[in-house]
Amino acid sequence: QKEVEQNSGPLSVPEGAIASLNCTYSDRGSQSFFWYRQYSGKSPELIMSIYSNGDKEDGRFTAQLNKASQYVSLLIRDSQPSDSATYLCAVAGLTFGQGTILTVHP
C-alpha cells in the first residue's frame, strides 16, 4: 500500500522565518510530487509540483525532491501570517499525506 507520511505538527514559526515542511513516501517508483495548501474550512489549493531530483523555486516557495531517500520537502521563506494553513503532500497525484499544520505568528 502506498503511503505518504507527514509530521502533523503544528509547526510554529515567527513571521519572517523559514518554514520547513517534510514528507516521506513508500513507493520508490513514484514520479510526481505535489504540495497543496489548505486553509481551514476550504479545499486544497495547488502551490507546487516537482518531478525531478533537486530544487524548484517559485517565489517564496522552494520544493526539494530526493528520490533516493524518498522524501520531498517544502520551504517557505519570509513566512507571513497568511501562510498559516495545513500543507498537504501528494505523491503520484492520488495519495495524500495527513498534512502539516503551519502557524506563523507575528
Partner 1 sequence: DTGVSQDPRHKITKRGQNVTFRCDPISEHNRLYWYRQTLGQGPEFLTYFQNEAQLEKSRLLSDRFSAERPKGSFSTLEIQRTEQGDSAMYLCASSLAFTYEQYFGPGTRLTVT
Site residues (CB under 8 A) for partner 1?
Answer: 4, 6, 8, 32, 34, 42-46, 49, 88, 90, 92-99
Give 17 or 59: the residue with its C-beta nearer to partner 1.
59
Nearest-approach distance from CB 106 to partner 1, in angstroms: 26
Determine how β-strand 54-58 pairs with β-strand 4-6.
Answer: unpaired
Give 45 or 57: the residue with its C-beta nearer to partner 1.
45
Give 42 or 105: the residue with its C-beta nearer to partner 1.
42
Q: Dihedral, CA atoms, 26, 27, 28, 29, nearest 10 degrees? A: -170
Using an 8 Å Cβ cutoff, are 96 and 87 in contact? no
The reply to whether omega before 10 is within 30° of 0 (cis) is yes
Nearest-approach distance from CB 93 to partner 1, in angstroms: 2
